[in-house]
């Protein structure tokens, strides 16, 4: 990690973090999706966006260079290191981490925007395990899903098949995949992305189940009880 940056778990970051009540809402779903690079997070997230228009995709900041098909503001807010470091110093991120040699972070304003969007009932965060760990420490009511490839051979095939990266980048991402999979226990659900439609069905079921949790439906049950009293 760059030496002129406070660590992503530094106390200044924590004190500027939102109070958990800011993010705790019984009907607002916060879903973290993580995986080793190439396992299919982006593919699955795009499908989720179509099926759940009331969930908003969190657009992270990154110092990585855009890939050919990526659009600034849609896929990422692309920034340089100096700008990113300034945002860290200003306490602008709920979490941030260095991944594959680049900085990535989720800004607090991204979540505020979602909370203020009429009809928005939750957010999807495509972030790595370090970010998942930081958000978990700050926001209690969060659902974590880790996506696994069916095999390491298939993972490397997908990394190469993406064709937007050099062989050196593919090798670097593959080399850290084991270290990322080691953190699977930080998550509530593990989805295996073998057949994309089946993986998507599992993801969809997780969202539907999370939305039906007693804690989320309790206010309705209580309201029914209240209105049932004559």
- Identified binder of ligand 5GP from the candidate list 123, 124, 127, 159, rule CB under 6 A: 127
Q: Based on CB atoms, which residue is closest to ligand ADP, 41 or 133? A: 41
Q: What is the 3-state secondary structure of the chain?
A: CCCCCCCCCCHHHHHHCCCHHHHCCCCCEEEEEECCCCCCHHHHHHHHHHHCCCEEECCCEECCCCCCCCCECCCEEECCHHHHHHHHHCCCEEEEEEECCEEEEEEHHHHHHHHHCCCCCEEEEECCHHHHHHHHHHCCCCEEEEEECCCHHHHHHHHHHCCCCCHHHHHHHHHHHHHHHCCHHHCCEEEECCCHHHHHHHHHHHHHHHHCCHHHHHHHHHHHHHHHCC
Residue numbers 154-173 binding ligand ADP by CB under 6 A: 158, 161-162
133 binds, among ligand 5GP, ligand ADP, none (CB under 5 to 8 A by kind): none
Binding characters for ligand ADP, 53-92, by CB under 6 A (x = yes): ----------------------------------------
Report if residue 131 touches ligand 5GP, rule: CB under 6 A: yes
Cβ distance to ligand 5GP smaller for residue 106 or 143: 106
Q: Which is nearer to ligand 5GP, 86 or 100 (CB)?
A: 100
Residues numbered 60-99 forming contacts with ligand 5GP, rule: CB under 6 A: 60, 64, 95, 97, 99
Among 193, 203, 207, 210, contact with ligand ADP (rule: CB under 6 A):
193
- Applying CB under 6 A, does 139 fall inside the site for ligand 5GP? no
- Smallest distance, Å, CB 1 to ligand ADP? 22
- Per CB under 6 A, does 45 bind ligand 5GP? no
Considering only 14, 89, 196, 209, the residue that binds ligand ADP (CB under 6 A) is 196
């Amino acid at each position: 990690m760059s030496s002129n940056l406070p660590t992503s778990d530094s106390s200044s970051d924590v004190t500027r973090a939102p109070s958990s009540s800011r993010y705790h809402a019984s009907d607002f779903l916060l879903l973290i999706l993580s995986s080793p690079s190439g396992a299919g997070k982006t593919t699955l997230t795009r499908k989720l966006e179509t099926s759940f228009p009331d969930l908003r995709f969190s657009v992270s900041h990154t110092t990585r260079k855009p890939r050919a098909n990526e659009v600034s503001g849609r896929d990422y807010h692309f920034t340089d290191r100096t700008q990113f470091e300034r945002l860290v110093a200003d306490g602008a991120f709920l979490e941030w981490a260095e991944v594959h040699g680049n900085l990535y972070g989720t800004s607090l304003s991204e979540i505020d925007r979602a909370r203020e969007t009429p009809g928005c009932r939750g957010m999807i965060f495509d972030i790595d395990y370090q970010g998942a760990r930081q958000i978990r420490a700050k926001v209690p009511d969060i659902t974590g899903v880790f996506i696994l490839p069916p095999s390491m051979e298939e993972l490397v095939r997908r990394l190469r098949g993406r064709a937007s990266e050099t062989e050196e980048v593919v090798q670097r991402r593959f080399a850290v995949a084991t270290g990322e999979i080691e953190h699977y226990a930080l998550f509530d659900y593990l989805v295996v992305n073998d057949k994309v439609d089946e993986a998507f069905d599992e993801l969809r079921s997780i969202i539907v189940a999370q939305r039906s949790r007693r804690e989320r439906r309790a206010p309705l049950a209580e309201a029914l009880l209240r209105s049932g009293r004559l």
